[in-house]
Amino acid sequence: MRRLVPFIVLVVAVASLNGWLDQRFHVRVLTLAVVWALAGVAWNLMAKAGQISLGHSAFVGIGAYGFTILLRGGGTSPWIGMAIGMGVAAVVALVIGLPTFRLRGFYFTLATISFPLIMELLVSHYGDPELTVPYHPESEWRFMEFSDPHTYVWVGLGMLVVALVISELIDVTSFGYALRAIRDNEVLARAVGIRTVAWKSAAFMISAALSAAMAVLWVKAVLRVTVAEEVFGITVVIVMLSVAFVGGVGQTWGPVVGAAFLIPLAMFLDDSIGESVPGAQELVYAAALVLVALLIPRGILPAIERGCRWVATRPGRSGEPGGRGFLGRLAVPPQQPSPFLRMSRRRVRPRLPRPSDAPVLEVEGIAKSFGANRVLSDVAFRIDAGRRVGIIGPNGAGKTTLFNIITAHLRADAGRILFKGMKVDRMRAPRRYELGMSRTFQVPQGFHLMSPLDNVVVAAIGASIPHPVAASMAMLERVGLADSALGELSALTTAEIKSLELARAMVSEPELLLLDEPLAGLNEAERARFFTTVDELVTPQTAIVVIEHSVRSLIQYVESVVALDEGRVVVQGPPADVVSDPRVIKAYLGSRWMEHARDQ
């Protein structure tokens, strides 16, 4: 119901404006507002995954040129041209996206700039820099040739509503969870089974298709002629960025709010002073971008939301939280997981069984260098089902690097990894997680824009657990975090963050659990409790590898220890033997203290 209200508001507002306005210029402003809202919604799909694209004019250009060429060539209906353009744009998005998504942060944004520039140059030079759209008055609907300009607004409104429904559907399903996880912490997302490239590609393809659809409406209703410089131009991207960032980047309704503000402002300014001030429209977008960047980088909608939440949670006069009132009711309730997710019963990919004679993990001859710096050489160890192995070594010995190689966050230079008897060297992180490998991090990682519950839900989705929300809630109860499940991540203590990491790692029911310095930052009592909690969560078959500096706590818990020094296995075996081995003492203390240690 809550999600229906904005749709009703939008339709009522546009419909009444469309009925009321009759000056040609006003209808044109309304049309453009709808067109750019649609463009912004399309662009924003990528922003949901935190990807800022400056290349969307490539898809707008494909849509515009596609339908124009088909209409000129064979008199194809623009509707069919639109469908074909959307398909082509989606395929181009896939081709562009696959290599580009490997790039993080700035590199992605930089790479996207060049695609429309290349296309514009090629189209202008080898094709036509300008194509007129032939006039077909014989059939209004078939050729999208409406004599009444109001009809374009109806068509645009219909397309906008479809785009918004798509965007909402993405938000409430595991698709949206995956995109938000990627935006928040891509490394962690991959560690909990989110196939980042696949999800980003899907979002990019839908986004591209919607951009191409928007182009047909834009050309038919407003431009009337397809100009390469315009449809492939940077201004298209600027307007998309402006409406999306002003309203709320990554938010489904953000571009609608942004377009409702900016487009009329820019158009009326252009109309009144455009004669003497030629760049007035662009200045509106530019000023909006600068102001948003400095004042409300996430946009208007999140700013309003935060304001409402502040009003709602502000202590009232009686000291009770919640200034009830109108704003209080408007305030967004704590982030509940999507109810749609609760209903979804995803097919669980059957996890490949482990042959009874194979160890859970077998690592052989692993070597890794960063430049000239050799971090690991010829590391080998194995762990059987239900066993616990500790890894110790001084700082810089290569312990975390070894974990990163086991979970595919880094690629080894040499050696091989067998998981449940399978060679997994070529598998990426999400696949290894699906097969039953879970980890925690030395520096605890989290999705900071999500509730603790959603942090675990993402991991459950990544492992295709059938009832992700119920399973995640149960896991939080078992680690004692049920009360803070819907709070803010930043409100958790170090011990609670560690428990959350454990819950996130355990929700996939892993066969191999890798714990990287789980006791760091915990006090005596919390340390004593930690491994007890682990034992309550695991099955007798779970193999556990622990990196830990607190050797005393570690040797009470594990059955064997691997000691690393300068990237080599110095010694491995039962804990008591390893910690008394002179080579281990030397690695930790240096030879100068050897005599001293022997005396004790």
Partner 1 sequence: MVEFLQFLVPGILIGGVYALLASGLGLIFGVMRVVNFAQADFMMLAMYLSWALFAGGVGLDPFLAVPAVFFVFLLLGMAVHWLFIRFVIGRRENHDAQVILTIGLGLIFQNLILIKYSSEPRVVAPSYANSGDFIADIFVSRVRLYAFLLSVLVAALVFLFLNRSATGRAIRAASENWEAATYMGVDIDRTNRIAFGVGVALTAVGGSALVTFQSITPFVGLRFVVVMFAAVVLGGLGSVRGAFVGGVLIGIIQSVSQVWTSAAVKNVWVFALFLLILYVRPNGLFGKAQRAI
* 431-to-72, 410, 506 alpha-carbon distances in Å: 48, 14, 16
In the complex, the smallest distance separating the C-beta of residue 600 from partner 1, rounded to whole angstroms, is: 37
Residue 285 makes contact with partner 1 by CB under 8 A: yes
Sign, CA dihedral 267-268-271-277, equals negative
Cα–Cα–Cα angle for 229, 230, 233, rounded to 5 degrees: 75
Pick one of 370, 524, 552, 595: the residue that binds partner 1 (CB under 8 A).
370
State the number of binding residues for partner 1 (CB under 8 A): 48
In the complex with partner 1, the residue whose CB is nearer, 127 or 466, is 127
Conformational region of residue 573, where left means phi above 0, alpha means psi within -120 to 50, and beta covers everything else: left
Looking at beta carbons only, is 110 or 589 nearer to partner 1?
A: 110
State how far Cα 358 lies from the chain centre. Answer: 36
- Per DSSP, the residues of 261-322 read HHHHHHHHHHHHHTTT-TTHHHHHHHHHHHHHHHH-TT-HHHHHHHHHHHHHHSB-TTS-B-
**Alpha-carbon radius of gyration of the chain:** 29
Q: Rule CB under 8 A: is residue 597 a binding residue for partner 1?
A: no
* 83 counts as binding partner 1 under rule CB under 8 A: no
Measured distance CA(89)–CA(106) in Å, rounded: 23
Does 124 sit near partner 1 (CB under 8 A)? Answer: yes
Count of CB atoms within 10 A of residue 327's CB? 16
The values of phi and psi at residue 148, to 5°, are: -95, 115
Contacting residue, 12, 121, 589, 597, with partner 1 by CB under 8 A: 121
- Of 80, 162, 197, 289, the residue at the interface with partner 1 (CB under 8 A) is 289
Smaller CB separation from partner 1, 105 or 339: 105
Q: Rounded to whole angstroms, how far apart are CA atoms 477 and 471?
A: 10
Q: Name the segment binding partner 1 (CB under 8 A); options: 81-89, 293-301, 315-323, 456-464.
A: 293-301
Considering beta carbons, is residue 273 or 589 the nearer one to partner 1? 273
Residue 117: burial class (beta carbons within 10 Å; 0-12, 13-18, 19+): middle
According to CB under 8 A, which residues from 23 to 62 bind partner 1?
A: 52
User: Which region, judged by CB under 8 A, interacts with partner 1, from 14-22, 279-287, 418-426, 480-488?
Assistant: 279-287
User: Rule CB under 8 A: which of 400-429 touch partner 1?
Assistant: 400, 404, 409-410
C-alpha 34/C-alpha 19 separation (Å) is 15
Q: Which one of 9, 290, 352, 594 is in contact with partner 1 (CB under 8 A)? A: 290
User: Which position has the token pair 């008199």?
Assistant: 75
Q: How far apart are CA 270 and CA 239, in angstroms?
A: 15
Characterize 221-245 residue by residue with b for buried, 16 or more Cβ atoms within 10 angstroms of its Cβ, and e for exposed. Answer: beeeebbbebbbbeebbbbbbbbbb
* By the rule CB under 8 A, 95 interacts with partner 1: no
Q: Please report how close the Cβ of residue 289 comes to partner 1 at its closest, in angstroms.
A: 3
Q: Which is nearer to partner 1, 116 or 575 (CB)?
A: 116
Assign 365 to helix, strand or coil.
strand
- How far is residue 458's CA from residue 525's CA, in Å, rounded to a whole number? 30
Q: Does the footprint of partner 1 cover residue 125 (CB under 8 A)?
A: yes
> Is residue 199 a contact point for partner 1 (CB under 8 A)?
no
Tell whether residue 113 is a contact of partner 1 (CB under 8 A): yes
Q: Which of 4, 5, 8, 294 binds partner 1 (CB under 8 A)?
A: 294
Q: How far is the CB of 278 from partner 1 (least distance, A)?
A: 5
Given the complex with partner 1, which of 286 and 589 has the nearer CB atom? 286
Q: Does 102 bind partner 1 (CB under 8 A)?
A: yes
* Binding residues for partner 1 restricted to 234-253, rule: CB under 8 A: 234, 238, 241, 245, 249
Contact flag: residue 94 with partner 1 (CB under 8 A): no
Task: Give the DSSP H/E element, type plus range, for residue 565.
Answer: strand 560-565
For partner 1, which residue of 297, 365, 573, 590 counts as binding (CB under 8 A)? 297
446 neighbors 500 (Cβ within 8 angstroms): yes
How many whole angstroms from its chain centre is CA 393?
A: 35
What the block records as the tokens of 462 is: 């990544």
Nearer residue to partner 1 within complex by CB, 119 or 513: 119
Question: Is residue 9 within the footprint of partner 1 (CB under 8 A)?
Answer: no
As measured in angstroms, the least distance from the Cβ of 36 to partner 1 is 16
- Give the interface segment with partner 1, choosing from 24-32, 73-81, 271-279, 560-568 (CB under 8 A): 271-279
**Residues contributing to the site for partner 1 (CB under 8 A):** 52, 99-100, 102-103, 105-107, 109-111, 113-114, 117-118, 121-122, 124-125, 187, 234, 238, 241, 245, 249, 277-280, 282-283, 285-290, 292-294, 297, 370-371, 400, 404, 409-410, 441
